[in-house]
Amino acid sequence: MNRTFSLALLFLLTSNLLAQEPATQDRPHRPRGRRTMTPMPSYPATLDADGKHVNAHGGCIIAYKGEWLWYGEARPHFGFTSEGVSLYTAPIGTQPVSAQDTLKATPLDLRWKNRGVVLTVVDDEGSPIERGCIIERPKVLYNERTNQFVMLFHSELKGRGYEAAQTGFATSDSPYGPFRLHHVQRPNAGRWPADFTEDDIRKAKALNPADYPEWWTPTWRTAVEQGLLLAKDFETGQMSRDMTVFVDDDGTAWHIYSSEENLTIQAAELTPDYLGYTGRYYRIAPGGQNEAPCLLKRGDTYWLICSGCTGWTPNEARMFSAKSIQGPWTQHPSPMQGAGAQRTFEAQGTWIWNQSAKEGDTTALYFMADVWVPRSLANSRHLCLPITFEGDVPVIRK
Ligand code: GAL
């Protein structure tokens, strides 16, 4: 092959790879929203101690015994599947090693040590985490009762795009793994939301998706609010995609996830071992189409920061508050302010990082977010911005 021909071939092959988004990108759970290619962001890489970009996305950073544990999606350089969940660690209390050019110094400037992939995809045919599957938004909790680390994640099956919409549970005796898959499931099969009255249940049961072939009409929207899609999945369990976890002051752990075709957030109480659901769950902003939930509690108020649903493409954040996880929730303007706020500074939230490492301390909270690079997910960047409070209301500026 002469050089010009090889270069042309290389270009054709790579441009095809770059252009490729899986058929699942047009899946029904993203009913609305423009899909455009995201330009390579101007954000710098987050370099680990080996000088490599931190391949941990959609993740969380928790404090444990003097160390920060950063778990996130281990993504391939090309394609949309998963390699598993990676872990990076850094000692708590060390000063940032550098202030990056375009960002002020944040905890992202710590010297992270790559501890490898702690939940790996497997080659067993039919396993929910068979190579080729999708593992997204892993969140890890240490369970004091069982002395186990429990990881929850958004689990999609090999070759089935985003249709399974399940939650995976994995455990490890050590924060460094290996985590072993416990099971995957959809939350709360056979349960109505805890605050549904007899009348609500009667109305929801009477709704039939076949009667609403056209989406986005006012009657369809009302039906969604009344539980059209919740009722559709009543027998098999509620859909669960983008997600976070939150342990409340009373020790109750909650799984908060995009459900009902990504139209409604649900908050489901976890069992004391964090390995299942108690059956108590609530809906947040029914029909509001929110994703990427991040939750913080300050004083007696819960603040939920979400994104809209435009896949990998950035959009304007949304914010809700409530005095109890069960609601009622009130919507507020986006907490993002300043230039770039309308597209969440090109990012999508994943976690509220408590930099003080002290439970309940809200003096140093950060909004952690992913700047997705769909053409090379492993290269997706990180953004970590301090959350300030004006009055009592969270404000995030770059
Ligand atoms: C985003 C979501 C990501 C991933 C992506 C796939 O909206 O937050 O976690 O699922 O869509 O298109």
- Per-residue DSSP letters for 221-260? HHHHHHTHHHHHTTTT-----SEEEEE-TTS-EEEEEEET
Instruction: For strands 393-397 and 336-337, give the pairing.
Output: parallel
Assign 354 to helix, strand or coil: strand
Q: How far is the CA of 159 from the centre of ligand 1 (A)?
A: 17
Contact partners, residue 110, CB within 8 Å, separation at least 6:
68, 90, 94, 96, 97
Protein residue closest via CA to atom 2 of ligand 1: 311
Number of H helices and number of E strands within the chain? Answer: 4, 21
Q: Which of 21, 348, 380 to mutate to test the pocket of ligand 1 (most atoms within 8 A of CB)?
A: 348
Neighbours of 355 (CB within 10 A): 18
* Cβ of 242 below 6 Å from ligand 1: yes
Protein residue closest via CA to atom 7 of ligand 1: 311
CA distance 68 to 245: 17
Q: What share of the chain is helix, strand, coil (3-state, %, to 5)?
A: 15, 35, 45
* Cβ of 59 below 6 Å from ligand 1: no
Please tell me whether the peptide bond between 138 and the residue prior to it is cis, using omega within 30 degrees of 0: no
CA distance 133 to 341: 33
**Domain extent listing, the chain:** 23-191+234-397, 192-233
Q: How far is the CA of 330 from the centre of ligand 1 (A)?
A: 25
pTM given for the model: 0.89
pLDDT digits (tens, 9 = 90+) for 332-385: 999 999 999 999 999 999 999 998 888 888 888 999 999 999 999 999 999 999
pLDDT in tens, the chain (398 residues): 344 434 443 333 333 333 333 333 333 344 343 444 545 557 889 999 999 999 999 999 999 999 999 999 999 999 999 999 999 999 987 655 555 443 455 777 788 999 999 999 999 999 999 999 999 999 999 999 999 999 999 999 999 999 999 999 999 999 999 999 999 999 999 999 999 999 999 999 999 999 999 999 999 999 999 999 999 999 999 999 999 999 999 999 999 999 999 999 999 999 999 999 999 999 999 999 999 999 999 999 999 999 999 999 999 999 999 999 999 999 999 999 999 999 999 999 999 999 888 888 888 899 999 999 999 999 999 999 999 999 999 999 99
Q: Tell which residue, 55, 85, 60, 386, has the closest CA to residue 244.
A: 60
CATH topology of domain 23-191+234-397: Tachylectin-2; Chain A (2.115.10)
